Amino acid sequence: MIESMTGYGTASQRFDLGGGLFASISAECRSVNSRFLDLNLRLPDECRPAELAIRDLVHQHIQRGKLDIRLQYQLEEASNPSSAELIDPDVLQKLLLAQEQIRHSVPDAGQLRMADILRWPGLIREAKGSEQAWREASLSVVRQAITTMKEARRGEGQALALIMKQKTRAIREIVKQLEPLMPQIVAAHQNKLQQKLTEMLAGQDAQGQAIQRQDIAERVRQELILYGVKIDVAEELGRLCTHLDAIDQALNKGGAVGKRLDFIMQELNREANTLGSKSVSQESSQASIEIKILIEQMREQVQNLE
């Protein structure tokens, strides 16, 4: 489906991190327009083990856009953690062994008090959970937030696609109205040109001033060249319709079409400019202006598409 580059999604979940520890982790994903994929991660230290996996996940689902992802958490310890969960037995065993060795060498040394034992570095476990648990929890909540954000991006993308299809239909209608008028426009220009050539061949310009004979042939040549360049717009109108077909096909196919559509907008604008430069009537000039306005409106929408 067509996706906009603008979207927002959040997710939160409570995870069991082991050792009587639970965490409520929340993820926030926000994306705006960008020519390329620009990812900014803001992760607490506990979630850092998941950074590489999160980046891989983003690249699988997002093609373009400036994407900010932020993770936060709150810890929730179990209400009745056992002493075995709070105290590191290895550290305690080493401490007691060290006490016995010291008392063996220094018999008068006193016993460690409870306060001394509890203050010993590393004896009391800090409930943080394992690295694998944090990685899995962080990746899971980010995946949910990205899914929510992509749903929002798809909704806006579909709305933008409908707007663009309306614009392509409007351009087709302008072309449809202009094409039947072209024979009349050509005939009117031919009559005007014939009058000018008649005046030149008579040796006078439109103001009745005499024209030198040697200038007549050059003037006729210039007028014929100008006529040939200005009148033929059938090719431009045909290419306009071809580009409109390409836009509709891209929108119907879906996926990441923003860059392709941006290129087609450039081609459309080129044909509209050529149509305006070749205009020999008010109708064709007005058609060129209206088409360029519609193209510019479509270009603004394309800047939002992935």
| Residue-wise pLDDT tens digits, 181-192 | 766 666 666 667
Query: Of 178, 167, 171, whose CA–CA distance to 291 is shortest?
Result: 171
Looking only at the bridges linking them, the beta strands covering 65-77 and 37-42 are parallel
**What is the structure's pLDDT at 44?**
92
User: Which three-class secondary structure string do you get for the chain?
Assistant: CCCECCEEEEEEEEEEEECCEEEEEEEEEEEECCCCEEEEEECCHHHHHHHHHHHHHHHHHCCCEEEEEEEEEEEEECCCCCHHHHECHHHHHHHHHHHHHHHHHCCCCCCCCHHHHHCCCCCECCCCCCHHHHHHHHHHHHHHHHHHHHHHHHHHHHHHHHHHHHHHHHHHHHHHHHHHHHHHHHHHHHHHHHHHHHHHHCCECCCCCECCHHHHHHHHHHHHHHHHHHHCCHHHHHHHHHHHHHHHHHHHHCCCCHHHHHHHHHHHHHHHHHHHHCCCCHHHHHHHHHHHHHHHHHHHHHCCEC
What residues contact residue 157 under an 8 Å CB cut-off, 6+ apart?
1, 2, 3, 4, 305, 306
| pLDDT for the residue 106 | 82
pLDDT at 57: 95
| Partners of 67 in beta bridges | 31, 39
Single pTM value for the model:
0.69
Q: Are 69 and 98 in contact (CB under 8 A)?
A: no
First to last CA, the chain: 10
CA distance 167 to 84: 70
Give the pLDDT score at 1.
Answer: 81
- pLDDT, tens digit only, all 306 positions of the chain: 889 999 999 999 998 877 667 889 999 999 999 989 999 999 998 899 999 999 999 999 999 999 999 999 987 755 555 544 567 788 888 888 888 888 888 888 778 888 877 777 777 665 567 788 889 999 999 999 999 999 999 999 999 999 999 999 999 999 888 777 766 666 666 667 666 666 666 655 555 555 555 566 666 666 666 665 566 677 788 889 999 999 999 999 888 899 999 999 999 999 888 888 777 677 778 888 999 999 999 999 999 998
Report yes or no: 304 and 156 within 8 Å, Cβ to Cβ.
yes
pLDDT at 276: 82
Per-residue model confidence (pLDDT) at position 229:
55
* CA nearest neighbour of 6 among 109, 221, 154, 128: 154
For residue 216, the model assigns a pLDDT of 62
